Amino acid sequence: MMTAYPDPRYDAMPPPPPRKQLNPLDVTLGVVLYSVALVLAACSAYATIFFAFAADSCSYDGKSCDYVGSGMGVAWGSAALTVVIGAVMLPIAAWRRWPLWIWGVIPLIVVVGGFLWGYSIVSAGFSA
């Protein structure tokens, strides 16, 4: 006896569609970009130590050093946010089959932008 699929006698469900495979190039690109972002975050955190050297000339010509701590905080915060973005979103994107390279580029933008923002905060105190 031939019946239509699914067999109404068993109230069978059709098999789920196969999951979309991850593109190996996308995975490689996402991991490499995130690794570069981690290296840049470490370099950014290390480079902000030298912001304190700029405070040596604070009392010269009435310049303000109130912004050094804020600039360092912004740069360190962006480095920490870079680590969190990649560590959280790369596995979620892989599980949901989203493009992974995007989650490698976003931390790069965050760490570079955060360092430049922190640098501009520090230099704003010295241009007065």
What would the pLDDT profile of 50-79 be if each residue is shown by its tens digit? 887 766 666 666 666 777 888 899 999 999
In the chain, what are the domain boundaries? 24-51+65-126
Return the number of other C-beta atoms located less than 10 Å from residue 53's C-beta: 9
Given pLDDT bands bounded at 50, 70 and 90, which one contains residue 6? low
3-class DSSP state for residue 27? helix
Given pLDDT bands bounded at 50, 70 and 90, which one contains residue 8? low
Given pLDDT bands bounded at 50, 70 and 90, which one contains residue 102? very high
Nearest in space to 47 (alpha carbons), one of 126, 108, 115, 106: 115
Segment holding 70, helix H or strand E: helix 68-96
Q: What share of the chain in percent tops pLDDT 70?
A: 77
In contact, 99 and 93? CB cutoff 8 Å? yes
